[in-house]
C-alpha cells in the first residue's frame, strides 16, 4: 500500500509550499533583525573586524 | 605556545600564526599545481595528442585531479588559512588546540597527496567532485571533525560575547560539508581501492547533485562569504555596510542553497516537481546572493579611492563583483528553457570558472596579500607586482570565460538546430566539436595568462618572506577584557533574544542543522519513492542487472573517467531526442552504482549507443578514434588492448552489488568469473572473424560489452541469465 501511495503521489504542490516556507523564514529574519535594542549590538559588530 | 597573562581585567594572550602560515604556503603550492593541471587538460582538448599514450596522463584521469586540486587543495587550504587567521582575531583568543591544528594541517595535506596519487592511477568512485575512494573519504571525515572540534572549541573559549557573522558562515560550512560528505560518500568496499556507491540511478543522481551543488554552496561560497565579511572591512578599514543585511544574508542563504541541487538535473528523468522545486529555489537565491554582494561592495563606500592604489582592495572588490555575476548567472541557468541551451555545454565551464577564478581566486589573492606581510611581520615586497598580478589575472579570466561562453553558445545552438525538413542541421556530433576547438586554444591561453599572474604572486610572496626579520615568532600578541560568562537562559541582565540566537554557538549550530535538514529531506525525497515508481510504471523485463563482463567494462569506463566527456542521459528536449533517441527513463539506470548521467558533452551522449555500431567499430574507435571519426578529439586507450581483465575480482563485485540490492542470484555470483570469460570469448571470436587481432581476456572486450549494453534490453545481447 505504501509503495502504491509513493508511486502515485504527485508532489507538485511542494514547490509552492517550499516557497511559503522560505518567505516565512525571510520575513521572520527581517522582523528579527529589527527587534528592539538590536541596533546597539549591530552598530558595535559592524566595526568588529577593525578593532 | 599558548600563554595568558592577566593584569586586572585585561588578559594578554597570543594568536597561533604558525598554523596560518602553513595553510597559506600550502594554498600557494597547491594553487600552482591545480592551475598547471588545468592548463594541461585545457590543451589536451585543443590538441588531443597531448594525452600521450600514458594511461595516467589522459584527460579523463587528470580532469578529476584538476577539480579536486582546485577545490579541496587550493580553495580548501585557503579557507583554513583565512578561517584560522580571522577566527582568533574575531574571538580574541588563541585556537583551541595546537595539536588539533597540526593534525588538521598534516591530515589535509596527506589527503591531497593521496588524491594526487590515486586519481591518475584510475582509482575513482566515478562521482564528480567526490571521486576519492573510501579510505580517503574516511580520512576526510576524520580530519574534518578535527577541524570542527578545533573551531567550535575556539568559539567556546572566546573572550568576545557576540559571535561575528563571519563565524556563523564558518559554522554552517563545517556542519553542512560534514553532512554532505558522509551521506554522499556512503559506499560498500570491494577492495582497498574499489567501492560501489550505496545509491543507484536516480537516487544517486539526486544525492550526488545535492552534494555537488552544495559543495559549491558550502565549500566555495559560505566560507568565502565569511572571509569576505572579515577581509573587506579590514582592508578598507571601514565597518560592514549593514550588519542587519549580513544576518538576513546568512539565514536566507543557509536555508535556500540546500534546495537547489536538482537544477543540475533539469529536463532529465528526475520527477518534474523535483526539478521545478530546484528551479524555484535557485531563482530565489538571487535574493541572498545579491544581498551579500551588495553588502561586500558597499563596505568599500568612502574608500573607493583605494581601488586605484591598493591591490588588495582591487582583488577583493573584483572578487565580490564576480560573486555577483556568477550568482546572477546560476539562477538564470536554472530556468528550464535556459538550461536546455546551456546544460552539457562549455557555458557551464565558463560559469564555473568565473566563480572559481574570479570569486574564489581573487578573494584568496587579496587575502594572501593582506596576511603574508602581517604573518611574517614585514611589508609587501612590491605593490607594483601585485598590481601587475591583478591585471594579468583579470585578462586571463576574461580570455578564458569569453572563449568558453562563445563555445557554449555555439555548442548549444548547433546541437539543436534543425533544417526546414525538421532534421538536425548538424547530425554528426563531431561537426560541433571541430567548430569549438579554436576556442579551446584561447581558453588554454587564458589559463596560461592567469597562471603567469599567479607566478608573479609567488615571486612577490617569496621576496616578502625574505624581507622579514631573521628571528621570527609564529605568534602575535593581543590583549582584551573578556566578557563575563553568564547562563544563556534566565539572566535578566542581558538581552535574552540576542544571547540565545546570536551569541550561543551551539543553538546557532542547531538552527543551521534544522535549516539544511528541511531542504535536504524535501529535495532528496524522490529517492525514497523511485523504486516504487519504477516497479509501478515500467516493464521489469527491461531492468536487468549487468552481466559480470559488462560490469567489468563499466568499471573500466569509470576508471578512465569517460563520464567527464560523455553523458548517459537523453533529455526530454527535441534536440536530444532527434540526435540520440528516446529520452532516458529512470528504470534504465536502476542498478547503476554509481549513476553515470554525466554533466558534460565534449563527446556525444552514450545512453543509447548500444548496438548502434558493430563491435569492430568500437574496437577500432577506442584504439584510434580519429581512424573512425574524422576530427575527433578523443584520446587513444591503447593500453586496454594489452591489459587483462581482472576476472578474479568479479565474484566479490557481484556480491557487493547483491548486498546493494541488485538482483543477482547465488549462482550468478558463484559463476561470475566463468560467465565473464565465456562472454569475452564470444566477443573476441566475433572480432577475430572480422579480421581484428585480440586475445580473449583483454580489457577492451569488457568495455565493448558494456557499451553495447547501453540503452538496450539486455536480452538482445545475452544479458543477465
Contact A18 B162 (CB under 8 A): no
**Interchain contact, B281 vs A47, CB within 8 Å:** no
Residue B721 pLDDT greater than 60, yes or no? no
Distance CA B295, CA B229 (A): 9
Concatenated DSSP letters of B420-449:
TTSSBSS-SHHHHHHHHHHHHHHHHHHHHH
Q: Do B217 and B71 touch, CB atoms closer than 8 A?
A: no
Instruction: For domain B545-709, give its CATH number from 1.10.760.10, 1.20.1250.20, 3.20.20.70, 3.40.640.10.
Output: 1.10.760.10
Return the bridge partners of B477, or none.
Answer: B14
Interface test with B, best of A3, A10, A17, A18 (most B CBs within 10 A): A18
Chain A: closest CA distance from residue B181 (Å): 25
CA B524 from centre of chain: 19
What's the pLDDT at B551?
97
Does residue B325 carry a pLDDT above 90? Answer: yes
Residue B713 has pLDDT above 70, yes or no: no
Rounded CA separation B41/B657 (Å): 33
Average pLDDT estimate for B247-276: 90
What's phi and psi for B331, nearest 5 deg? -60, -35
Cα dihedral B468, B471, B476, B478 in deg (nearest 10): -120
Query: Would you say residue B536 has pLDDT above 60?
Result: no
Strand partners, B11: B6, B480
Length of chain A: 51
Least confident of B253-257, B372-376, B426-430, B671-675: B253-257
Q: What are phi and psi of B712, to 5 degrees?
A: -125, 145
Ramachandran angles phi, psi of B81, nearest 5°: -60, -50
DSSP state of B600: B
The cell for B700 is 577492451
Closest in B255, B497, B522 to A35, CB measured: B497
Query: Across chain B, what does the average pLDDT equal?
Result: 92
DSSP string covering B443-497: HHHHHHHHHHHHHHHHHHHHHHHHHS-SS--SEEEEEE-PPPP--SSS-TTS-HH
Q: What is the pLDDT of residues B484-533, one digit of tens each?
A: 776 666 665 555 566 667 778 888 899 999 999 988 888 787 776 666 66
Q: What average pLDDT does the segment B300-327 reach?
A: 95
The pLDDT score that the predictor gives to residue B613 is: 95
B498 and A18 in contact by Cβ < 8 A? no
* Predicted pLDDT of residue B470: 84
Instruction: Judge whether residue B720 has pLDDT over 50.
Output: no
| Dihedrals phi, psi of B212, to nearest 5 degrees | -60, -45
pLDDT for B562-583, tens place per residue?
A: 999 999 999 999 999 999 999 9
Query: What are the tens digits of pLDDT across the range B111-135?
Result: 999 999 999 999 999 999 999 999 9
pLDDT tens, position by position, for chain A (51 residues)? 666 666 666 667 777 888 888 889 889 999 988 888 788 888 888 888 887
* pLDDT 10s digits, B377-389: 999 999 999 999 9
Determine contact, residues B74/B457, Cβ cutoff 8 Å.
no
Nearest CA in chain B to A1: B532
Residue B238 banded pLDDT, cuts 50, 70, 90: very high
Mean pLDDT of B400-425: 96
Strand-pairing partners, residue B698, are B644
pLDDT at B718 over 50: no
How far apart CA B420 and CA B190 sit, in angstroms, is: 53
Confidence of residue B96 (pLDDT cuts 50, 70, 90): very high
Candidate from A7, A26, A50 with C-beta closest to B237: A50
- Residues B359 and B350: their CA atoms lie apart, in Å, by 13
Give pLDDT tens digits for B40-91: 999 999 999 999 989 999 999 999 999 999 999 999 999 999 999 999 999 9
- B719: confidence class by pLDDT, cuts 50, 70, 90: very low
Cβ count near B716 (within 10 Å)? 11
Q: How does residue B474 score in pLDDT terms, banded at 50, 70 and 90? A: confident
pLDDT at B209 over 70: yes
B563, B557 contact by CB (below 8 A): yes
pLDDT higher than 80, residue B391: yes
Chain A interface disruption, residue of B89, B239, B300, B481, most A CBs within 10 A: B239
Q: Residue B475 above 90 pLDDT?
A: no
State how far the Cα of B390 lies from the Cα of B376, in Å rounded to an integer: 22
Nearest by CB to residue A49, choosing from B230, B255, B535, is: B230
Q: Which residue of B has its CA nearest to A39?
A: B244
> How far does CA B3 lie from the centroid of its chain?
40
Contacts of B271 in chain A (CB under 8 A): 11
Across the interface, of B162, B242, B255, the residue whose CB is closest to A22 is B255
Segment (H or E) for B261: none
DSSP code per residue over B126-144: --TT--S-HHHHHHHHHHH
Question: Considering chain B, what percentage of its residues have pLDDT values greater than 70?
Answer: 94
Identity of the residue in B89, B252, B522 whose CB atom sits nearest the CB atom of A14? B522
Chain B residue numbers with beta carbons less than 8 Å from the beta carbon of A14 are 273, 277, 522
Under a CB-based contact definition with an 8 Å cutoff, are residues B187 and B130 in contact? no
Per-residue pLDDT at A3: 60
- Stretch B664-677: mean pLDDT: 96
Q: Which residues pair with B475 in a beta bridge?
A: B16
How far is the C-alpha of B63 from the C-alpha of B231, rounded, in Å? 32
For chain B, the structural domain boundaries read: 17-220, 545-709
What does the pLDDT read at residue B696? 95
Domain B17-220 maps to which CATH number in 3.30.420.130, 1.20.210.10, 1.10.8.100, 3.40.630.30?
1.20.210.10
Numbered residues of chain A with Cβ closer than 8 Å to any chain B Cβ: 3-4, 6-12, 14-15, 18-19, 21-22, 25-26, 29-30, 32-35, 37-38, 41-50
Residues B720, B714: Cα–Cα separation, whole Å? 7
Between CA B721 and CA B707 the distance in angstroms is: 19
Cα–Cα distance, B376 to B289 (Å, whole number): 35
Which residues of chain B are within 8 Å of residue A50 when distances are taken between CB atoms?
A: 233-234, 237-239
- Where does residue B344 fall: left (phi above 0), alpha (psi -120 to 50 degrees), or beta otherwise? left
Q: Are B645 and B697 in contact (CB under 8 A)?
A: yes
Question: Is the pLDDT confidence value at B290 over 80?
Answer: yes
Cell 570558472 -> residue? B353
**How many CB pairs below 8 Å do chains A and B form together?**
107
* DSSP output for B288-347: HHHHHHHHHHHTTTT-TTHHHH-HHHHHHHHHHHHHHHHHHHHHHHTSHHHHHHHTBSHH
Exposure string of B50-68, with b = 16+ CB inside 10 Å and e = fewer, is: bbeeebebbbbbbbbbbbb
Amino acid at each position: 500500500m505504501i509503495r502504491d501511495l509513493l508511486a502515485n503521489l504527485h508532489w507538485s504542490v511542494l514547490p509552492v509550499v517550499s516557497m511559503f516556507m522560505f518567505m516565512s523564514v525571510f520575513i521572520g529574519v527581517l522582523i528579527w533583525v529589527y527587534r528592539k535594542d538590536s541596533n546597539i549590538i549591530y552598530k558595535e559588530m559592524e566595526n568588529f573586524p577593525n578593532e | 605556545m599558548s600563554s595568558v597573562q592577566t593584569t586586572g581585567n585585561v588578559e594578554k594572550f597570543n594568536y597561533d600564526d604558525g598554523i596560518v602560515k602553513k595553510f597559506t604556503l600550502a594554498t600557494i603550492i597547491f594553487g600552482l599545481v591545480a592551475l598547471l593541471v588545468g592548463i594541461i587538460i585545457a590543451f589536451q582538448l585543443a590538441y588531443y595528442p597531448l594525452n600521450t599514450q600514458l594511461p595516467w596522463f589522459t584527460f579523463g584521469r587528470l580532469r578529476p585531479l584538476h577539480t579536486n586540486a582546485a577545490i579541496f587543495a587550493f580553495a580548501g587550504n585557503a579557507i583554513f588559512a583565512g578561517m584560522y587567521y580571522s577566527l582568533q582575531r574575531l574571538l580574541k583568543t588563541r585556537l583551541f588546540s595546537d595539536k588539533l591544528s597540526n593534525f588538521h594541517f598534516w591530515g589535509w595535506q596527506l589527503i591531497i597527496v593521496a588524491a594526487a596519487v590515486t586519481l591518475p592511477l584510475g582509482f575513482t568512485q566515478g562521482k564528480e567532485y567526490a571521486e576519492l575512494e573510501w579510505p580517503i573519504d574516511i580520512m576526510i571525515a576524520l580530519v574534518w571533525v578535527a577541524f570542527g572540534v578545533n573551531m567550535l572549541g575556539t568559539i567556546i573559549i572566546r573572550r568576545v560575547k557576540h559571535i561575528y557573522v563571519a563565524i556563523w558562515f564558518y559554522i554552517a560550512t563545517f556542519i553542512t560539508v560534514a553532512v554532505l560528505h558522509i551521506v554522499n560518500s556512503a559506499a560498500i568496499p570491494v577492495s582497498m581501492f574499489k567501492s560501489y556507491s550505496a545509491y543507484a540511478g536516480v537516487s544517486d543522481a539526486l544525492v550526488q547533485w545535492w552534494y555537488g551543488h552544495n559543495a559549491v554552496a558550502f565549500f566555495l561560497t559560505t566560507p568565502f562569504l565569511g572571509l569576505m565579511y572579515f577581509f573587506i572591512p579590514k582592508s578598507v578599514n571601514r565597518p560592514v555596510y549593514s550588519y542587519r543585511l549580513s544576518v538576513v544574508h546568512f539565514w536566507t542563504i543557509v536555508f535556500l542553497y540546500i534546495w537547489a541541487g536538482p537544477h543540475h538535473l533539469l529536463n532529465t528523468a528526475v520527477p518534474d516537481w523535483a526539478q521545478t522545486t530546484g528551479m524555484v529555489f535557485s531563482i530565489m537565491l538571487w535574493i541572498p546572493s545579491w544581498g551579500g554582494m551588495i553588502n561586500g561592495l558597499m563596505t568599500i563606500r568612502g574608500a573607493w579611492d583605494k581601488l586605484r592604489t591598493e591591490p588588495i582592495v582591487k582583488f577583493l572588490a573584483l572578487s565580490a563583483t564576480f560573486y555577483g555575476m556568477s550568482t546572477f548567472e546560476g539562477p538564470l541557468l536554472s530556468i528550464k528553457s535556459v538550461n536546455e541551451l546551456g546544460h552539457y555545454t562549455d557555458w557551464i565551464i565558463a560559469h564555473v570558472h568565473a566563480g572559481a577564478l574570479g570569486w574564489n581566486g581573487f578573494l584568496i589573492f587579496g587575502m594572501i596579500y593582506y596576511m603574508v606581510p602581517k604573518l611574517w611581520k614585514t611589508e609587501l615586497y612590491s605593490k607594483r607586482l601585485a598590481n601587475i598580478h591583478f591585471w594579468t589575472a583579470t585578462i586571463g579570466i576574461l580570455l578564458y570565460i569569453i572563449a568558453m561562453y562563445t563555445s557554449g553558445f555555439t555548442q548549444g545552438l548547433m546541437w539543436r538546430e534543425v533544417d526546414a525538413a525538421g532534421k538536425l542541421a548538424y547530425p554528426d556530433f563531431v561537426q560541433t566539436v571541430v567548430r569549438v576547438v579554436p576556442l579551446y586554444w584561447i581558453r588554454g591561453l587564458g589559463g596560461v595568462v592567469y597562471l603567469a599572474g599567479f607566478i608573479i604572486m609567488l615571486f612577490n610572496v617569496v621576496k616578502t618572506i625574505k624581507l622579514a626579520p631573521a628571528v621570527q615568532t609564529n605568534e602575535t600578541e593581543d590583549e582584551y577584557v573578556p566578557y563575563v560568562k553568564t547562563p544563556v537562559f534566565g539572566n535578566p541582565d542581558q538581552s535574552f533574544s540576542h544571547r540565545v540566537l546570536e551569541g550561543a554557538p551551539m543553538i546557532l549550530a542547531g538552527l543551521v542543522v534544522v535549516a539544511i535538514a528541511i531542504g535536504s529531506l524535501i529535495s532528496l525525497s524522490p529517492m525514497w519513492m523511485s523504486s516504487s515508481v519504477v516497479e509501478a510504471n515500467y516493464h521489469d523485463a527491461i531492468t536487468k542487472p549487468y552481466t559480470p563482463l559488462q560490469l567489468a567494462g563499466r568499471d573500466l569506463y569509470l576508471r578512465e573517467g569517460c563520464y567527464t566527456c560523455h553523458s548517459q542521459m537523453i533529455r526530454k528536449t527535441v534536440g536530444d531526442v532527434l540526435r540520440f533517441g528516446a529520452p532516458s527513463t529512470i528504470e534504465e539506470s536502476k542498478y547503476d552504482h554509481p549513476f553515470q548521467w554525466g554533466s558534460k558533452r565534449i563527446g556525444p551522449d552514450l545512453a543509447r549507443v548500444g548496438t548502434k555500431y558493430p563491435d569492430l567499430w568500437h574496437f577500432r574507435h577506442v584504439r584510434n578514434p580519429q581512424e573512425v571519426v574524422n576530427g575527433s578529439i578523443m584520446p587513444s586507450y591503447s593500453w586496454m588492448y594489452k591489459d587483462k581483465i581482472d576476472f578474479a575480482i568479479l565474484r566479490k563485485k557481484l556480491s557487493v552489488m547483491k548486498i546493494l540490492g541488485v538482483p543477482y542470484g547465488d549462482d550468478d555470483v558463484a559463476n561470475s568469473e566463468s560467465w565473464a570469460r565465456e562472454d569475452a570469448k564470444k566477443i573476441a571470436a566475433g572480432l577475430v572473424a572480422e579480421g581484428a587481432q585480440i586475445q580473449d581476456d583483454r580489457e577492451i572486450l569488457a568495455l565493448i560489452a558494456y557499451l553495447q549494453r547501453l540503452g538496450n534490453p539486455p536480452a538482445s545481447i545475452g544479458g543477465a541469465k
